[in-house]
């Protein structure tokens, strides 16, 4: 039932949903027969007395006031709705998808003539990178034969990545620098050219959610650090291209968003939430649970145990030294764990990988200085460093560490890292 003047567009939308009764005069509202699924009242007629009488006459029908600006007032029995705002948010979302459709056409154009496309991710492919690469292959309407998802690192070992690749039967390939020339075009996903330190050239597409770095030369780039995951960007592209996302791909993308944002808890924005909901309805949640259930190996817990028992906290920073290890991901997992400790503002986990590099993972509570900027300022000159506001990573050759601190004993390294971080976090804090 509509009472008073109502916007034509709004009226036509309601008419699509069922039978509508239009009433000009409020007096006519009280002698209608039937059960109304909704009563909409023009705000000009919405006096307190009128709404109360309406509610008495139709106790089971919800009442909505078509409001133009005013808020709900006390004692008024009705829900005030700005229908223009409801429509506006929907329209701007559709507009975003329509704009993304232009991007999709550009990406397809860039790779159109390539016989074989290489979709390259970073050297430690994580669920976000893997899922986004799969999504790009779908977006390009290609298959395993015409588009390879590859990376230059060593065989993946992080349990959740291994579980994802095995349980979902994903063809993720280790490739060499030599192999690259066998491809006709290349797309980087979840990573930017600078990551490869000039070793990778002739890049056609870059799609990433990390902060934009200089020297990002490609025919098509979509770099948007607002999104918490590249999977969010790819979900938008797939929707823009009106592709029905399969259960397998939805599961992969959902897992990518979940892991990169720590279940919407880190660096996530409304787009991530939107993509999350969209994918959640399409994903194979049973499969996802299976993938997510195995994230620790026995020998790893021993490593953690050792580092955790020897941790120390000073000035709100927790320090954890994993010592000499082979698996780099242990460092970032431990840094995440450090943030769970009460009173901790910063978490610093570090270890020496393959005896040659010191790797640090840093987390903060997000409300303090940017972790990415801090590491960049501290270590970019002697290694590679950077990342997001709340999480970042630095890799420094042991030869540089030796030059700086002399003997690279466990104690020396710990004292150096302790001093460097305490000084840096104290500045402009």
> Which residues are 348's β-sheet partners?
319, 362
The token pair at 248 is 């397998």
Closer to Mn ion by CB, 84 or 336: give it.
336
Residue 246 CB, nearest approach to Mn ion (Å)? 21
Residue 128 vs 300, nearer CB to Mn ion: 128
Report the nearest approach of Mn ion to the CB of residue 393 (Å). 13
Nearer to Mn ion, 100 or 230 (CB): 230
From residue 358, give the alpha-carbon distance in Å to each of 232, 244, 249. 32, 44, 36
Position among 40, 107, 128, 330 found at the interface with Mn ion (CB under 5 A): 128
Instruction: Report the nearest approach of Mn ion to the CB of residue 331 (Å).
Output: 17
364: β partners: 346
Q: How far apart are CA 169 and CA 258, in angstroms?
A: 20
* Residue from 2, 186, 190, 271 binding Mn ion (CB under 5 A): 190
Return d(Cα 330, Cα 361) in angstroms, integer: 10
Nearer to Mn ion, 224 or 364 (CB): 224
- The nearer residue to Mn ion, 93 or 195, going by C-beta atoms, is 195
- 4 or 127: CB nearest Mn ion: 127
Q: Assign 383 to helix, strand or coil.
A: coil
How far is residue 357 CA from its own chain's centroid?
Answer: 29
The packing angle between helices 410-426 and 398-405, to 10°, is 80
Size of the site for Mn ion (CB under 5 A): 4
Q: Least separation, in Å, of the C-beta of 276 and Mn ion?
A: 14
To the nearest whole angstrom, how small is the minimum distance from the Cβ of residue 385 to Mn ion? 18
- Which residue's Cβ lies closest to Mn ion? 128
Residue 230 beta carbon to Mn ion: minimum distance, rounded to whole angstroms: 5
Q: Does 300 bind Mn ion (CB under 5 A)?
A: no
- What are phi and psi for residue 304, nearest 5 degrees? -60, -45
Helix (H, G, I), strand (E, B) or coil at 13: helix
**Site residues (CB under 5 A) for Mn ion, limited to 396-415:** none
* 156 phi/psi in degrees, rounded to 5: -65, 145
Closest Cα partner for 136 from 103, 160, 162, 167? 103
Q: How far is the CB of 357 from Mn ion (least distance, A)?
A: 22
d(CA 183, CA 173): 14
Q: Which two tokens stand for residue 240?
A: 């823009």
Q: Select 128 or 160, whichever has its Cβ closest to Mn ion.
A: 128
Looking only at the bridges linking them, the beta strands covering 63-66 and 39-42 are parallel
Q: Mask of contacts with Mn ion, 73-112, x by CB under 5 A?
A: ----------------------------------------
**What is the nearest approach in angstroms of Mn ion to the Cβ of residue 157?**
18
Per-residue x/- mask for Mn ion, residues 240 to 269, rule CB under 5 A? --------------------x---------
What does each C-alpha distance from 103 to 99, 234, 237, 256, 278 come to in angstroms?
Answer: 7, 11, 8, 21, 20
List beta partners, residue 23. Answer: 3
Which residues form the interface with Mn ion (CB under 5 A)?
Answer: 128, 190, 230, 260
């Amino acid at each position: 039932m509509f009472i008073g003047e109502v916007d034509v567009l709004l009226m036509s939308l309601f008419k699509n949903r069922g039978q509508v009764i239009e009433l000009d005069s409020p007096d006519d509202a009280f002698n209608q027969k039937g059960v109304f699924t909704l009563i909409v009242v023009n705000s000009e007629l919405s006096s307190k007395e009128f709404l109360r009488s309406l509610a008495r006459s139709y106790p089971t029908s919800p009442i909505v006031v078509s409001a133009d600006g005013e808020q709900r007032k006390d004692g008024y029995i009705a829900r005030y709705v700005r229908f223009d705002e409801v429509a506006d948010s929907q329209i701007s979302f559709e507009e975003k998808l329509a704009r993304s459709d232009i991007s999709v056409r550009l990406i397809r154009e860039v790779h159109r003539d390539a016989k074989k496309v290489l979709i390259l991710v970073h050297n430690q492919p994580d669920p976000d990178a893997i899922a986004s690469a799969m999504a790009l292959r779908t977006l390009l309407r290609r298959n395993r034969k015409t588009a390879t998802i590859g990376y230059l690192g060593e065989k993946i070992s992080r349990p959740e990545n291994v579980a994802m690749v095995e349980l979902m039967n994903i063809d993720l390939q280790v490739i060499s620098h030599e192999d690259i020339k066998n491809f006709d075009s290349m797309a980087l996903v979840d990573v930017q050219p600078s990551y490869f330190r000039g070793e990778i050239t002739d890049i056609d597409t870059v799609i990433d959610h990390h902060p934009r770095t200089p020297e990002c030369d490609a025919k098509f780039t979509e770099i948007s650090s607002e999104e918490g995951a590249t999977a969010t960007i790819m979900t938008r592209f797939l929707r823009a291209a009106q592709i029905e996302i399969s259960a397998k791909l939805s599961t992969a993308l959902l897992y990518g968003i979940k892991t990169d944002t720590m279940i919407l808890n880190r660096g996530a924005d409304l787009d991530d939430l939107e993509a999350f909901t969209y994918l959640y309805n399409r994903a194979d949640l049973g499969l996802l649970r299976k993938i997510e259930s195995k994230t620790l190996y026995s020998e790893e817990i021993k490593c953690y145990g050792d580092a955790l028992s020897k941790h120390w906290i000073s000035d709100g920073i927790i320090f954890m030294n994993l010592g000499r290890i082979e698996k780099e991901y242990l460092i970032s997992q431990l840094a995440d764990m450090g943030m769970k400790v009460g009173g901790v503002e910063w978490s610093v986990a570090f270890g020496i990988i393959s005896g040659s590099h010191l790797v640090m993972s840093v987390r903060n509570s997000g409300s303090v200085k940017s972790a990415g900027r801090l590491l960049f300022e501290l270590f970019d000159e002697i290694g590679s460093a950077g990342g997001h506001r709340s999480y970042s990573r630095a890799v420094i050759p042991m030869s540089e560490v030796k030059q700086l601190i002399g003997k690279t004993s466990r104690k020396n390294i710990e004292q150096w890292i302790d001093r460097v971080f305490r000084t840096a976090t104290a500045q402009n804090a």
